[in-house]
Amino acid sequence: MTVLALEVGAAGFAAGQVDDDIGSDAIRRIPLPDSEPWEGCRDLLLEVAAGTEVTALGIACAGPIDMAAGVVASVEIPQWRTGFAIAEAARKLFPTAAVSMALDGVCLALAERSFGGAQDAMDSLAISLSDHIAGGVTVGGFAVVGRTGNAGSIAHMLVPGFDEPCECGGRGCVEAVASGAAIRRWARGQGWSGDSLSALLASAREGDDIALAALGRAGTTLGKAISSAAALLDIDLVIVGGSMASAGPALWKPLGEAVAGSSRPGYLAGLRVLPSQLGDLGVLAGAGVLALLASK
């Protein structure tokens, strides 16, 4: 009787068994393989299942997805860009399991609402900042899924003042300016010589001007997008997690200034933007919530 959670991200896969506390002491991660991604993903799932009977599997996918069809078509996973039926593949792997999938941002919203910082908030926005940006919305206490499963995709909101091309085909998306991949690309264009998001965060901690400027651009962009989303949704709480959220004032100061300097209708007077307590585990933990909901 094993419940599994799987995160399909821009940089790779993470999976673990879900215990009663929806935590996991045995999370396994693999980078995105160069070959067919499902082969690596399947091996990872079999490893964490450890030969036990899997009764439920929750899958959090970087978008876009077709939730009804169980298809992931993430723009960041080249081999799956035209769509991969991941739910069907997972059902073949674990025939007795209840398999469910949702957008990574929806899973994040589920996790924050279930045991994170949004437990007392009926209306909130959860954002994960790492190589890829995930977002999910809770309205009236429930995570919003949307027509195709992609509601909450703050990554593809347009931000005034920016024109960078985005993987989705648009220009000036939040993802194209503020994601970990985007800020690394921008920083390298300015002369920074590192190669990973963690290296860029380390450079910023050491006071590197380019790394600090990259995080500053990301913070400003996110602050503008957060203000727009809050105005649209009439929410009063935004929770920001993921590996970039630990960047400290280099990210949070410009983010807060952009929120404060953006359009502030009276109903947003109490808007709070807080760091997540779930670190970079929010999305995977939300996949665990999804699995537990499906197994009941």
Identify which of residues 156 and 184 has a Cβ nearer to Zn ion in the complex: 156
Closest separation in Å from C-beta 175 to Zn ion: 5
Identify which of residues 30 and 168 has a Cβ nearer to Zn ion in the complex: 168
Identify which of residues 170 and 189 has a Cβ nearer to Zn ion in the complex: 170
Closest separation in Å from C-beta 156 to Zn ion: 4
The residue ranges of DSSP E strands in the chain, in sequence order, are: 2-8, 12-17, 28-31, 54-61, 65-66, 71-72, 98-103, 124-129, 133-139, 142-143, 237-241, 272-275
Closest separation in Å from C-beta 10 to Zn ion: 13
Beta bridge partners of 182: none
Q: How far is CA 162 from CA 61, 171, 172, 173, 265, in A?
A: 27, 8, 5, 8, 24
Identify which of residues 5 and 173 has a Cβ nearer to Zn ion in the complex: 173
Identify which of residues 135 and 288 has a Cβ nearer to Zn ion in the complex: 135
How many other CB atoms are there within 10 angstroms of residue 235's CB atom? 23
Closest separation in Å from C-beta 206 to Zn ion: 31
Surface-to-core class of residue 40, CB atoms within 10 Å of its CB (0-12 exposed, 13-18 middle, 19+ buried):
middle
Element (H, E) at 180: helix 180-189
Compute the distance between CA of residue 259 and CA of residue 288 in angstroms, rounded to an integer: 32
Is the torsion defined by CA of 237, 285, 280, 148 positive or negative? negative
Closest separation in Å from C-beta 150 to Zn ion: 12
Closest separation in Å from C-beta 86 to Zn ion: 22
Identify which of residues 113 and 224 has a Cβ nearer to Zn ion in the complex: 224
Identify which of residues 97 and 159 has a Cβ nearer to Zn ion in the complex: 159
Residue located via tokens 């703050």: 154
Closest separation in Å from C-beta 75 to Zn ion: 8
Question: Which residues here bind Zn ion, judged by CB under 5 A?
Answer: 156, 166, 168, 170, 173
Dihedral over alpha carbons 236, 216, 205, 249 (to 10 degrees): -30
